[in-house]
Amino acid sequence: MKRIGLVVHPRRELDRALASVHAWAAAAGVAVVQVRMPGIDRVVADEGDAATCDVIVAMGGDGTTLAALHAGARVGKPVLGIACGSLGALTATSADHVDEALAAFAAGHWERRHLPAITVTAEGAGTFTAINDVVVLRNGASQITVSIDVDGDRVVGFAGDGIVIATPLGSSAYTLAAGGPVLAPRADAIALTPLAPHGGTAPPLVVARGSETVLTVEPGYYGARVEIDGHVADLPAKTLTLGWRRDYALLVSFEGAEPFFAGLRRRGILADSPRVRARAAR
């Protein structure tokens, strides 16, 4: 390993983790650079190109790791997530174990976790990609109308606040909070969850990756916007065609990593019913 690229949280406390990275790199003769992200003014190292790095180390939480995964995906580089706070779904280790994680990666003792992504092609306006989810939302007080067609067959048209379009990874976030399904990690499928539909019957929908799924959006008086892995943009077009990239990004994992559902249970996102908990306590 010759070079580490850092992607950092803009405000979170990182001093201990940064000191560990720099100390390990100095001892191992490895250069450290910072892969700069839009909107991040924090400077922790000289700027460098992600394409020249052996690994991109994301320091913060899942949001920081998502940003690093997009940067790594563009140049085919793996991402190692370091949790500076609570351990999330994408971080492989905590700030207390940075040197062990770097040593294991340098020795090749790591596992490759390939992450899929959703692609959304906006008619006449290009394609954008999300590892977690794409959300189409109303911009103001008025509702928007969303129609869903799968393989040329109309599923439903509804008026409401919008729709969440999620990968299996993202299905445990906004999708779950909005009453949608959680998809198992190996599911090659996309979850579509209407937000506050007004009347009619518009249940959550799971679509196989090979299906042609088209959304037609009619913005209300105040318009609509999209959120791509949390980044807000104007709605670029009324017709959105969904696609699937099976191995879009590469995340570093280590032996004994916490399973997906175990992580959701640890963080209280999934919880047994009171009756089941009471029975287990007896």
Residue type (1 letter), 242: L
- Residue 164 is predicted with a pLDDT of 98
The catalytically annotated residue of 15, 41, 49, 62 is 62
Domain limits, CATH 3.40.50.10330, in the chain:
3-110+254-281
- The confidence score (pLDDT) of residue 267 equals 87
* Positions of the chain with pLDDT lower than 50, given as ranges: none
In which residue ranges of the chain is CATH 2.60.200.30 found? 118-246
Give pLDDT, residue 39.
84
Q: Which two tokens stand for residue 263?
A: 């992580």
pLDDT at residue 110, rounded to an integer: 97
In contact, 174 and 236? CB cutoff 8 Å: no
Superfamily of domain 118-246: Probable inorganic polyphosphate/atp-NAD kinase; domain 2 (2.60.200.30)
260 contact partners, CB below 8 Å, separation of at least 6: 89, 172, 184, 185
Q: Which fold has domain 3-110+254-281?
A: Rossmann fold (3.40.50)
> Is 62 noted as a catalytic residue in this protein?
yes
